[in-house]
Structure 1
Amino acid sequence: MGTPILVTGGTGTLGRLVTPLLAEAAGAVRVLSRGSHEPAEGVEFVTGDLVSGEGVDAAVQGVDTIVHLAGTAKGDDVKARRLVDAAAASGVRHLVFISVVGADRIPVTGRMDRTMFGYFAAKLAAERIIAESGLPWTTLRATQFHELTLATVQGMAKMPVIPVPTGFRFQPVDAGEVAARLVELALDRPAGLVPDLGGPRVYGMDELIRSYLRARGRHRLTMPVRTPGDAARAFRAGANLAPERAVGQRTWEEFLAERVPAHR
């Protein structure tokens, strides 16, 4: 096998899709993970923690390209800094990062903003660390994955009366399509901030909830709620959307039909 490509977050929703595609295309993938995993064809797992920094220096050794997918609503800046420092010291030549549409347009200021929209601020902080690192880099911003959208509406549907933020819209995208695009970018030259990748259609929050309830054969009362704050105002203005980049193909309805058992 040749020089491995390092993937962080390789066992997450997106990473589980990116890793086999990269292994097939590049021949050798190294996955940085906090836990132990059984090796797979073309894939080696190394143990490390991007928050503490343990194992990160060893993980980047002998690597030319890193695909950084590990991220949460807290600590993304710490993880990016740990990774960037190790990558710079080892001579990495391309760092690919997945971010979110709206990271630069949704102001996260007050406590409620941080609670509801902290993910956007975390992604923006990591973006800036990578862009200012001196490493050659590529960042792709994508809209909300179908899986995250489903998890959100499933949680809301457990309530007897569902509070629906008025004016909130989403543009769900297929994680597999995002994964394929990330592999293309990883195998190409560093390109900086590339065009966004959005799902094929924009939906209101109420539409997403109703479609899920129909699929499950459930009935719930909904109650419109106007969410305060600057971030919510930006959301209502569509700052989390990329309608001009609706290049995804798989629709929310197709995803829902496959993932949610039909009501009988």
Structure 2
Amino acid sequence: MPEMPEVEIIRRYLDKMAAGKKIMDLDIRLPRMIKWPDTEGFRALVTGRTIKAMNRRGKYLLLELDNGNEVVFHLRMTGRLVYEPTGKTSDSHARVIFHLQGGASLVYGDTRTLGTIHGIRPEERAMLKGLAEMGPEPLSAEFTAAYLYETASKRKVAIKSFLLNQKYIGGIGNIYADEALFLAGLHPLRPAQSLSREECGRLWESVNKVIAAGIEDGGTTFRDYQNGEGGQGNHQEHLYVYGRKGEPCRSCGRPIERITVGGRGTHFCPQCQEAE
């Protein structure tokens, strides 16, 4: 699933290319991708409106229209949103196409159709519970070391599961949680409430560091992630532990191990990330 860095890369490109363009027409090839309102209501909501900006919250892309309404995309596992300057697409899994003024288009493609699209008015945002209840994001003023310590100190769950809970921190997924815990020297099974203030400070720094690095490297591509141009990221070439089971740790040389935490595959170094 694209995580915060990948979605931010998409947002930046689409904001640069699509902002200021009017949505002239829609090609809805798979109506069930649109979860709200119904197909005709969605068409009426967006057709003829000008794109004001492409925003982001956590892993959600928010296409802001000139009348304050939004199109909310949640890419999930295999969704992608690509700007096509010619208006044509070779994506055989294109599900919804936004035809823009000047001949370009925004193409939402989704191989496994797990993503969602909502057209909402400002007063309807609360219907998207994951968006409405999301915690502060890494790299934001609200996400502080003090916030991390105060929130984690009340939770008995494993710190890996804590990091993945979007109510506590918005935007962190499996890849960057593993990477942050490695840099902080924390075992993924440590109870969140067992972390000291100093350890939370290290984790706060590590979370911000791996998110910033992911953005700088254009995101992480293993299978399906594409940026707004349809290209791939290269952060996968710089990962410390994620996806490296059996390979030597970049710090100590001991083989990286993989366990399951909260149902999620988790990679860590048993020497650099001690349980206590």
The structure in which a higher percent of residues are helix is: 1
The structure in which a higher percent of residues are strand is: 2
TM-score, normalised by the number of residues in structure 2 = 0.27
